[in-house]
Structure 1
Amino acid sequence: MNIIIERAALLRSLGHVQSVVERRNTIPILSNVLLRASDGELSLAATDMDLEIVETVPATVTRAGGTTAPAHTLYDIVRKLPDGSQVELDIGGDGTILTLRAGRSQFKLSCLPVDDFPQLSGGDLPHRFDLTAGDLRALVDRTRFAISTEETRYYLNGIYLHAAKAKAGGSELPVLRAVATDGHRLARVEMPLPEGAAGIPGVIVPRKTVNEIRKLIDEAADRIELSLSDNKIRFAFDSVVVTSKLIDGTFPDYERVIPVGNDKTMEVDAKLFAAAVDRVATISTEKSRAVKLSLTRGTLTLSATSPEAGSATEELEVNYQEGPLEIGFNSRYLLDITQQIEGEGARFSLADAASPTIVRDVADPTALYVLMPMRV
């Protein structure tokens, strides 16, 4: 294999694929990036056996071929080369050494055989539909903060993506729904069901896959093709293909934790509320991060106390016409939810100090958040 490629193009693609590679690997081949050159392009692939990213980039190919090279080392070398460099990649002789040349710099990297590199992207993925980059970004951004990091409840370590029916004005509309929960808060976001998605199975997309896709879609063209089966999902756009195994587990019946009898409503300016919570929470203890909401007609008082730091209170004008109510929340969770509200108003539907609270964006009915209270 012998190719010449622009440093910027190589660095961009290496940056995309090498982030999948774990820093500590017990299997040497998984530390490497697969390089294949043919027909005027270079293909780069990396995998951790659960997630694979493949990207193609234009290159001047004088001799086709392939190899695998240490992903992080190769990325660091290319990152440190001067802007505008032309990078030559050459495999000669027995194919065990990759020579990289740029200007007066030369590096020799040990390679492993292409045949040892695992392939994840095979297999038939029967369900296919398209999403815009903006729609996929919204589904991810408004739910991933609620993904659990608790490994024992592995079935909560991702976003549950499925087709559902949403009630709207007495009728039911088919929607694509994304749900995430960690047991303390729940995020549910939906959009009109894309063409071709009606028969999809409910799947749990792992947290690492969600985060890698989120990094990539900022640079994506408008359309992203999703393909999925019962155990794999694939995202294809521009010159990038991301294939991932799905979490093999059953997502809990999340509808059961969404309360239906919350009869007390508070509406508040989301940005003013978030800023006030952030200020008051400065005093709360690091472990609990607790903030108390005390509601009376037209007024919300936020308060926090800490044996070490003292106390803080702040009042806000709100639209609340019910009887007095006190309820406590984890301030971090409150902020995570209010940051998802793009409109001016946030609507809280409350029952009592011990029951879960629903939070919605007044201007956007497609997103719903549930937050469990805490004792303060």
Structure 2
Amino acid sequence: MRITIPQPQLLKTLQVVEHAVNDRSTLPILSNVLLESSGNELTLTATDLDVGIQCRFPLAQAMEKGAVALPARKLTTIIRELPDDTVTLEAKKNHTATVNCGTSSFRIPGLPAEDFPVLPSSDSTETVSVSQGVLKSLISLTAHAMSIEETRFILNGALLATQKDMVVMVATDGRRLAVAQAPATKVGKQPLNAVLPAKTIRELGRLLAEADTEDVIISPLKDNQLTFRFGLVTVVTRLIEGQFPQYEKVIPSSSKIVVTCDRQRLLEAVRRTNLMTTATSQAVVFELEPNRLVVSKESPELGSAREELDVRYNGDRLTIAFNPEFWLDVLKVLQSTEVSIELTGPDRTAVIREHGFTFLVLPMKGA
């Protein structure tokens, strides 16, 4: 195999797939990236057997066909350090590759392409289509609520489902819940109901183009897998097995007791107050009275913080404690100028409802 390709384009393609590499695997082949030349197209593939990423790149002219598996991190590091010039990569029969660019030359030992796992392909007609920008937005609005506790494996990811003509994404860690939905371009006859691992969610969030209206084609695969195809990229993922919680049952009815304030000002107030929290004393206190919100924290070790905000609120005086990180996570991803929060009691769930988005967070028992 022999290919020539501009350094920036090869580096960009490597950076698309390298996040799927597993350097700690007991299988040496999984720390490699597979490079395949079909003549007029270069395909790069990486996988850890749970998530696989493949990226195709059209070549300016027909090249020698072939394939080789090369150490992903080392190859990416080398290409990154090369000058902005044409790279010539040639793989020998002994699976060793040479990389030449300008006056630089490298020799990299590789592994047989035949040892690399083959990513499954889908021929299913039960596909779901949604624009890249929409799916990226759904991920942004919900990913922060995924659990990181290994004991609750089903929550270590996000639910992706279809409801009528809508695509819905849901994540929860048991203390907060984020639900986002948006219209799909196309849904299949059979409803989609899949729990995606956190790594898959992160990789899709990284790879999807925010302003791109081109559709992502989502197709089911055998053996509890799902594939996402968009542009020149394909992502294949195993799904988390198990029953995702029935989240609809915990969403309360709308409340008339609402506090409305500037989103950015609340974000900054919570961020500053959070400076006085510790690992053993995380809660910050929200004190509400008509047209005023005080966010505060008292810490015997660090001292205290107090932030006062003008708000629209006509309910009774209310004091409620929250984990500030949960508020920071959601306030950062919202785009609205103002945020309205339903607060009905010191031990009741706080709720944000916006168009296509619902967020619930449980209070903490003490400050």
TM-score when normalising by structure 1 = 0.91
Counterpart of 1:117 in structure 2 is 116
Residue ranges of structure 1 left out of the alignment (5+ in a row): 166-173
Provide the alpha-carbon RMSD of the alignment.
1.9
Is 2:185 the counterpart of 1:194?
yes
* Alignment of structure 1 residues 67-106 onto 2, 5 Å: 67-83=68-84, 85-92=85-92, 94-106=93-105
Q: Which has the higher strand share?
A: 1
Distance 2:263 2:108 in 1: 53
Counterpart of 1:180 in structure 2 is 171
Moved more, 334-343 or 7-16: 334-343
Contact 1:296–1:320 (8 Å) recurs in 2: yes
Residue 340 and residue 105 in structure 1: after superposition, are their counterparts in 2 closer, same or farther (change >3 A)? Answer: closer
Residue 201 and residue 317 in structure 1: after superposition, are their counterparts in 2 closer, same or farther (change >3 A)? Answer: same
Is 2:44 the counterpart of 1:54?
no
Counterpart of 1:359 in structure 2 is 352
1:26-69 CA-to-partner distances (Å, cap 9, x unmatched) read 10110111111123121111111011111111334442111111
* Alignment of structure 1 residues 33-52 onto 2, 5 Å: 33-52=33-52
Contact 2:129–2:184 (8 Å) recurs in 1: no
Distance 1:244 1:224 in 2: 18
Distance 1:280 1:19 in 2: 35
Q: 1:204 aligns with which of 178, 195, 200?
A: 195
Moved more, 102-111 or 41-50: 102-111
Counterpart of 2:362 in structure 1 is 372
Aligned letter for 1:179? V
Contact 2:95–2:110 (8 Å) recurs in 1: yes
Contact 1:126–1:229 (8 Å) recurs in 2: no
Distance 2:99 2:187 in 1: 45
Counterpart of 2:21 in structure 1 is 21
Is 2:308 the counterpart of 1:315?
yes
Tell me by how many angstroms 1:157 deviates: 1.2
Report the identity percentage: 35
1:210-243 CA-to-partner distances (Å, cap 9, x unmatched) read 1111111138853133223272222212211111
Tell me by how many angstroms 1:193 deviates: 3.9
* Alignment of structure 1 residues 107-256 onto 2, 5 Å: 107-164=106-163, 174-197=165-188, 199-218=190-209, 221-229=212-220, 231-256=224-249
Q: Secondary structure at the match of 2:152?
A: helix
Residue 269 and residue 221 in structure 1: after superposition, are their counterparts in 2 closer, same or farther (change >3 A)? Answer: closer
Tell me by how many angstroms 1:263 deviates: 4.8
1:234-255 CA-to-partner distances (Å, cap 9, x unmatched) read 2212211111111112111111
Tell me by how many angstroms 1:9 deviates: 1.0
Distance 1:276 1:62 in 2: 58
Counterpart of 1:171 in structure 2 is none
Residue ranges of structure 2 left out of the alignment (5+ in a row): none
Counterpart of 2:329 in structure 1 is 336
Moved more, 119-128 or 246-255: 119-128
1:247-291 CA-to-partner distances (Å, cap 9, x unmatched) read 112111111222237452211111111111122222222443311
1:338-364 CA-to-partner distances (Å, cap 9, x unmatched) read 22321122111122111211123xxx4
Moved more, 308-317 or 322-331: 308-317
Query: How many matched pairs?
Result: 363
Tell me by how many angstroms 1:195 deviates: 2.1
Distance 1:265 1:197 in 2: 39
Counterpart of 1:169 in structure 2 is none
Contact 1:6–1:87 (8 Å) recurs in 2: yes
Counterpart of 2:30 in structure 1 is 30
Q: Secondary structure at the match of 1:79?
A: helix
Contact 1:189–1:368 (8 Å) recurs in 2: yes
Tell me by how many angstroms 1:151 deviates: 1.6
Counterpart of 1:63 in structure 2 is 64
Contact 1:147–1:180 (8 Å) recurs in 2: yes
Tell me by how many angstroms 1:197 deviates: 4.1
Q: Secondary structure at the match of 1:343?
A: coil
Tell me by how many angstroms 1:317 deviates: 1.7
